[in-house]
Amino acid sequence: MTTENAERLTIGEVAQAAGVAATTLRYYEREGLLSPTDRSRAGYRLYDDGAVERLEFVRAAQAVGFTLDDIRALLELNGDSPCKEVQALIERRLTEVDEKLADLTRVRSTLADALQRCRKSKKGCAVVADLKRKRGKRRSK
Amino acid sequence: MTTENAERLTIGEVAQAAGVAATTLRYYEREGLLSPTDRSRAGYRLYDDGAVERLEFVRAAQAVGFTLDDIRALLELNGDSPCKEVQALIERRLTEVDEKLADLTRVRSTLADALQRCRKSKKGCAVVADLKRKRGKRRSK
DNA sequence: ATACACCTTACACCTACATGTAAGGTCAAG
DNA sequence: CTTGACCTTACATGTAGGTGTAAGGTGTAT
């Protein structure tokens, strides 16, 4: 597939562009996360370039802890959904994201503190002690 | 186990305090994340209350996407490690955390934007369109 | 002294998220 | 017109992070 059609990408091209394996794209299709817009005569999957953006959104959301199920739910939202439900879902997700941000910030400051002390002391650095002393509210999903 | 010894907690007590299953604690022990400080005559695991803090750190770190392996590495750091290595590890983790913060912030603003539009429009809300338009740099771990 | 909730080990099983493998079809280049 | 990189499907396997189950011991309340 070297014919630069400038609108229809094969699975390999999309995969390369987004930095995932082609097999992963087929998997995402089965899971309803991203379908090719078309097929070639031979049955090859053909994607438009929006697919790459969408895929990048999926990966970013995944990197911060959303499951594929969560992400599918977000991606499935469209003009046909009753606005109430859409709003509620988005609000729930926002709350989750904010909790994650709080956790992450906490972990970050633990690490930063540990690094500080580590730099200060000529000798070994008791990071474990630091970690053990750190506190925070519960989160379990 | 109802005897309040005020320093030695059984697995069930720790589990309850931290909001995880006792089986999970045994699993963490096998994985080297958290060991009881002692055993009773009968072989019951006995933890000091630092265990709860430690466990909370584990869960918070996990909630924001660290693997148990990552977390073990952090927790294993101690005064015996050469400071150079310790620093390097912490620095690497800090970088990861900052990348996660960036991703998370991006996802957050996508959601917030979507919610805005959703509130504005009387009718359906094209969230998918929003998501597709959002961009960001690669992250795949 | 017996019920009952808790603990022990060992091992099988589960879900999410892929990845690999086999068996075959497609297509542009040499 | 064949080579070799790509694509197809279907199915098996792998890893992380647990959960469940069986078979048995513990400890305290009644």
User: Of A69, A97, A120, at which residue does a domain stop?
Assistant: A69
Residue B140 forms part of a structural domain: no
| Nearest in space to B109 (alpha carbons), one of B140, B139, B137, B131 | B131
Residues A2 and A65 in one domain: yes
DSSP string, chain A: -----SS-EEHHHHHHHHTS-HHHHHHHHHTTS---SEE-TT--EEE-THHHHHHHHHHHHHHTT--HHHHHHHHH--TTS-HHHHHHHHHHHHHHHHHHHHHHHHHHHHHHHHHHHHHH-SS---HHHHHHH--------
Q: What domain count does chain A have?
A: 2
Residue B100 forms part of a structural domain: yes
Structure confidence by residue, pLDDT tens digits, B21-55: 999 999 999 999 999 999 998 999 999 988 998 89
Q: Could you list the residue range(s) of the whole structural domain that residue B37 is in?
A: 1-65
Residues A81 and A65 in one domain: no
Residues A64 and A81 in one domain: no
Structure confidence by residue, pLDDT tens digits, A108-122: 888 888 888 777 765
Residue B104 forms part of a structural domain: yes
User: Of B42, B65, B88, at which residue does a domain stop?
Assistant: B65
Nucleotides of D under 7 A from a protein CB: 6-9, 16-21, 25-29
Kind and range of the H or E run holding B10: strand B9-10
**Which of the two residues, A93 and B27, has the higher pLDDT score?**
B27
Using CA atoms, how far apart are residues A117 and B90, in angstroms rounded to an integer? 11
Q: Give the mean pLDDT of A70-95.
A: 78
Residue B72 forms part of a structural domain: no
Is B21 within 8 Å of chain A by CB? no
Residues A46 and A105 in one domain: no
Residue-level pLDDT at B81: 62
Q: Give the mean pLDDT of B79-88.
A: 70
B30 touches strand D (CB under 7 A): no
Residue B141 forms part of a structural domain: no
**Which of the two residues, B7 and A38, has the higher pLDDT score?**
A38
User: Of B13, B34, B65, at which residue does a domain stop?
Assistant: B65
Is A102 within 8 Å of chain B by CB? no
Average pLDDT, chain B: 78
User: Best residue in B90, B113, B123 to probe A by mutation, most A CBs within 10 Å?
Assistant: B90
User: Best residue in A104, A128, A132, A141 to probe B by mutation, most B CBs within 10 Å?
Assistant: A104
Residue A38 forms part of a structural domain: yes
**Which of the two residues, B18 and A1, has the higher pLDDT score?**
B18
Residue A118 forms part of a structural domain: yes
Q: Is the ipTM of this complex over 0.90?
A: no
Is B19 within 8 Å of chain A by CB? yes
